A and B are shown apart, each in its own frame.
Chain A
Amino acid sequence: MTEAALPAPVTAPAVDRERLTAIGFVLPSFVIIAGVFALPLVLLLGVSVVDANGLTFAHYKRLLGTPYYLGVIWNSLRLGLLTTLIAFLISYPAAFALARARGALRAILLATLFLPLAASVIVKAFAWTILLRSDGIVNETLIALGVIEDPIRMIFTETALIVGAVNIFLPFMILPIYAIVAQLDPRYAEAASTLGASPVVTFFHVILPLTLPGIIAGVALVFSLSVSAYVVPTLLIGEKYPTLATTIAKAYLLAREPGFGAAAGVVLLGIAIAVVALSARLSREPK
């Protein structure tokens, strides 16, 4: 029996070594996530419920029990929801156009989508204030064309806020939808049509469900970005539209109320997590 002379396979240590290697690869990112992200989160949570006298929920009572702060939460939600909705309505057809485009046109369209990501949010928000203010380009043009006689108040309105937010966060909606649409086999729509589905039925029963993962990714991204936006509301609408993000900044920088700021941060985080979790759940559930 020659086989008997062979050493027994030593699989167990090999597996252990593999596992150690895997841990080694994961460790740096784990340390960074844990140290820079998870730990501050735990501290934030702690600060929001602990004061000099011990455990307290006073900050949460103030946030959720005062009409003013409920209005602030509503403002954030409204900013997030409107921005997400409008960005989706613009992005969905845009993603299909992008996927259909060929050659130079596609390159140009992708570049116009990616390049603004390189500019800082502050730069883009300021650009919008320049465009929209009373002596800005939009008003001057409208007056020169005789469409209006006096400048329209555009800056520091909710419209300005939403227009700016949609513009700035648009790539985060288009790109995930585009990624799905570009891979969508045209045979699906053809199969549906040969089975008797009109273009409208094909859209709602085949195209929309198949692109849902991209939509959900885009919605999760844009909502979590816009609900927590700070620079955009500060520059485009200011004091009269307080959001959770601007409230947090005020609590830390002006009012010196870290406990209250932390509680507002936890509420904001809770809203974002709830929406993202809901999105993830929707994308997994087959229709």
Chain B
Amino acid sequence: MYKYFFSIILLLFPFFVFAQSDSTNGASDEVVKPDQHQFRVGVDISKPMLNLIFSTKFSYEFAIDYHVPKDLYLTLEGGWGGSNVDYADLGYNCRNSFVKVGVDKSMLPRLFPKDWDYLFVGVRYGIASITRSEARYMTTDPVWGQTTGVIPGKSITAHWAELTAGLRVELLRGFFAGYTVRGKFLISQSAFKELPPAFVAGYGKGDKPTVFDFNFYLQYALRWKR
């Protein structure tokens, strides 16, 4: 676990910055509440770009959230993706869809009722339904030569937990941009013992029990009066 210490510190770095700001602006203890409800829909635009870079995997991710009191954001995320493994000694395809539910907590004090910018930390629970094709394998021995075989396809369900952090900035009225960095921790490791998927959309590398990832979202907010 210690080897992830630096990464976790990096994940929380934006809030160290926030702590410095808060101590210098002399914010009062008065809590400013929003005067509207807010529901947002968003798309992760980093994933289509990564799909262009990596030909062996792809994913698409979307997110919706709803603001509730105490500057909490109930969040539902989902998407799909897959990967193609085509090595000389191993080959198979995976496809999966996933859903994540969780909550983000704003760490910035609201400055006025229509201030929707925020830094946040949050948690998620993720679940993915994965279909792996039959896999071909080949072993090579200097004495006995090559041995090939086929592993039957399989359906797998994966569960994981996430710690999230990031920010959202309202660039135009109702239009947000922002990122989320994520530390992901696989819960159901036993499901991946036998040929884990090389890539699980929503999670990352299937053979890693801990994964770090990021999203860059563009979001649109629907608001209505309280």
The finding on whether chains A and B are genuine partners in a shared complex, rather than unrelated, reads: no
B interface list, Cβ under 8 A from A = none
